[in-house]
């Protein structure tokens, strides 16, 4: 087991466009420019070189005039000496406490993590690579437990959600959903077969009383009663226009579904499962939408195929904005989280996480680089005023502070 507070070296933390020699500098500025500055000391001058001549017989040492060579009967001798030290450079700005904490090591059993969920004090990690779920403390990243085998029936766990007392796991590999007691990790139930119609369950969301499940392989969405796991309904066909549904978000009254297979987003009434609207085309610019989050007013959508993020008004589905290019640095954006002020975007294509101001869509900062542990980031969750990132390739978690 290992947990380390990494100095941000060899990675890149881009803020205000500044990257200095592979050393990550934190600039918490707006897109127009940072508010912090760093003084980089000039490299030390080369040490002075002294040339002399040694008499081959007497070993006497003489120093020739500048530009003159040693006379016959002597051998040239040179050596270097460093001059007096120059004035000490200014101290750079202090780093952000806790920035770049990486949680990893064999004791955690984190392998190809692909989903995260939190109850505020603990974080659960779905390990797609070893059919298990790891629990860590959000306060310090310490290991709590790793669940696997037996009744849990985890099989390529692809998504997690927390219902207030239990957490739920979507098992993409065996067409089931597992419910676990969050207090002690004990098994509650495993749902499969029959009316549930699970097939490639890929994402989960909780609406206060029910758990919603997207079934990517049969283009349906299943609703389950969280209190007892009983079947409520399975939505498909018609106006829903589900096509490889792979992300969910709940806005307080409606459930939103990202359809990666047909570049649309569907809105459903959570109270009865009735269709509200299906958004596509035009300014939305949806292209393989794979992640959703709700910020209290708007729904945000990552578009994996065209490296953009779309913001939609949750009240009427109207287009707000589509973010791309420039400082955003989106590349295969595939996960989202909202911290109360800012929206965070995980970019699996360039090992970075972008922070965006939710109020106006402006760029805040981008964290990137292997020193921060970021390697194919695939999931985000907010806990204890920190942003936690699941690093799929490195089998680790990265903790970042909100801006």
**pLDDT value of position 99:** 55
Contact criterion met (CB below 8 Å) for 209 and 227: yes
What predicted TM-score, i.e. pTM, was given to this entire model?
0.77
The arithmetic mean of pLDDT across residues 273-277, rounded, is 98
Give the number of C-alpha atoms closer than 13 A to the C-alpha of residue 144, restricted to the C-beta side: 19
Percent of the chain clearing pLDDT 70 (strictly above): 81
The arithmetic mean of pLDDT across residues 188-201, rounded, is 98
The residue ranking higher by pLDDT, 166 or 6, is 166
The arithmetic mean of pLDDT across residues 221-249, rounded, is 98
Least confident of 16-25, 128-137, 147-156, 215-224: 16-25
Read off the pLDDT band of 401 (50, 70, 90): confident
What is the length of the chain?
403
Percent of the chain clearing pLDDT 90 (strictly above): 72
Question: Class of the 98-400 domain?
Answer: mainly beta
Q: How is the chain split into domains, by residue range?
A: 49-81, 98-400
The torsion angles phi and psi of 391, rounded to 5 degrees, stand at -100, 100
d(CA 92, CA 21) in angstroms, rounded, equals 14
Q: Give the burial class of 271: count Cβ atoms within 10 A of its Cβ; 0-12 exposed, 13-18 middle, 19 or more buried.
A: exposed
pLDDT digits (tens, 9 = 90+) for 32-78: 222 222 222 333 344 455 577 777 777 777 777 777 778 888 877 66
d(CA 258, CA 315) in angstroms, rounded, equals 17
**pLDDT value of position 71:** 83
pLDDT digits (tens, 9 = 90+) for 5-30: 333 323 333 333 323 222 232 223 33
Neighbours of 50 (CB within 10 A): 11
């Amino acid at each position: 087991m290992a947990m380390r507070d990494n100095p941000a070296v060899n990675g890149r933390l881009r803020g205000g466009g500044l990257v200095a020699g592979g050393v990550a500098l934190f600039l918490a500025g707006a897109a127009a420019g940072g508010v912090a500055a760093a003084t980089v000391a000039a490299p030390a001058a080369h040490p002075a070189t002294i040339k002399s001549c040694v008499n081959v017989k007497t070993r006497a040492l003489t120093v020739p005039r500048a530009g003159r060579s040693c006379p016959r009967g002597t051998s040239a001798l040179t050596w270097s000496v460093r001059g007096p030290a120059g004035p000490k450079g200014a101290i750079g700005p202090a780093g952000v406490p806790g920035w770049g904490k990486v949680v990893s090591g064999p004791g955690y059993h984190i392998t190809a993590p692909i989903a995260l969920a939190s109850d505020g004090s603990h974080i659960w990690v779905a390990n797609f690579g070893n059919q298990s779920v790891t629990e860590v403390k959000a306060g310090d990243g310490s290991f709590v437990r790793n669940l696997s085998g037996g009744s849990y029936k985890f099989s390529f766990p692809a998504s997690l959600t927390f219902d207030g007392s239990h957490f739920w796991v979507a098992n993409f590999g065996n067409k089931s959903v597992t419910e676990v007691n969050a207090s002690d990790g004990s098994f509650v139930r495993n749902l499969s077969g029959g009316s549930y119609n699970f097939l490639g369950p890929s994402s989960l969301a909780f609406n206060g009383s029910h758990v919603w499940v997207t079934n990517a392989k049969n283009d349906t969405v299943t609703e389950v009663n969280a209190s007892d796991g009983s079947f409520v309904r399975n939505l498909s066909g018609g106006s829903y226009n589900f096509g490889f549904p792979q992300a969910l978000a709940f806005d307080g009254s409606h459930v939103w579904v990202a359809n990666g297979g047909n570049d649309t987003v569907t809105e459903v009434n959570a109270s009865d499962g009735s269709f509200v609207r299906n958004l596509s085309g035009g300014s939305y610019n949806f292209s393989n939408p794979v992640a959703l989050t709700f910020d209290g007013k708007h729904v945000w959508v990552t578009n994996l195929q065209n490296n953009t993020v779309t913001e939609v008004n949750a009240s009427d589905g109207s287009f707000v904005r589509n973010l791309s290019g420039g400082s955003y640095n989106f590349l295969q954006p595939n996960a989202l989280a909202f911290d109360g002020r800012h929206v965070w975007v995980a970019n699996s294509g360039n090992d970075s996480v972008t922070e965006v101001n939710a109020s106006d869509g402006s760029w805040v900062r981008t964290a990137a680089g292997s020193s921060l542990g970021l390697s194919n980031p695939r999931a985000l969750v907010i806990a204890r005023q920190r942003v936690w990132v699941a690093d799929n390739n490195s089998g680790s978690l990265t903790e970042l502070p909100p801006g």
